[in-house]
Amino acid sequence: MLRRIGIAAAFLFAALLPASAHHGWGSYDASKQVTVEGKIVTTKYENPHVTLTVEAQDKTWTLTLAPVSRMRNRGATEELVAPGKVITAVGYVSKHDPDEMRAEHITVDGKTIQMR
């Protein structure tokens, strides 16, 4: 019986790990909107959110975008946000990492896509 409880606890713990890695939007400063424009260096097209590394004029940014399903539903395919493309992103800077931002909308190849 004790073994079953241990196994069940291990499965529960493993199931909760992805949720603990997800951060709330409260960790971004919504009082100051910023615009980042630059070349996409890397793309991580996976859940919980698509993330890009963008080389802008001032520094290298990490952009947190929408989940994969929302990106696909709105036409923001992996090919659209591929490395080498130029992107303009409007959003909010992280309160904990001044090089990270949560994008509200992006424009790539003349196509503007809302992230929320």
> How many domains does the chain fold into?
1
**CA dist., res. 13 & res. 60, Å (int):** 35
pLDDT over 60 (residue 115): yes
Query: Which tokens in the block code for residue 57?
Result: 């004029």
Which pLDDT value is given to residue 13?
A: 47
> What does the pLDDT average to over 5-23?
46
pLDDT at 26: 78
In a domain, 15, yes or no: no
Q: Which residues 6+ apart lie within 8 Å of 86 measured at CB? A: 37, 38, 39, 40, 108
Whether 10 maps to a domain, the answer reads no
Whether residue 13 lies inside any domain: the answer is no
Residue 81 pLDDT greater than 50, yes or no: yes
Element of type H or E holding 104: strand 100-108
pLDDT surpasses 70 at 71: yes
Question: What is the distance between the alpha carbons of residues 37 and 60, in angstroms, rounded to a whole number?
Answer: 10
**pLDDT tens sequence across 16-69:** 444 444 456 678 999 999 999 999 999 999 999 999 999 999 999 999 999 999
What CATH code is carried by the domain that includes residue 69? Answer: 2.40.50.1010
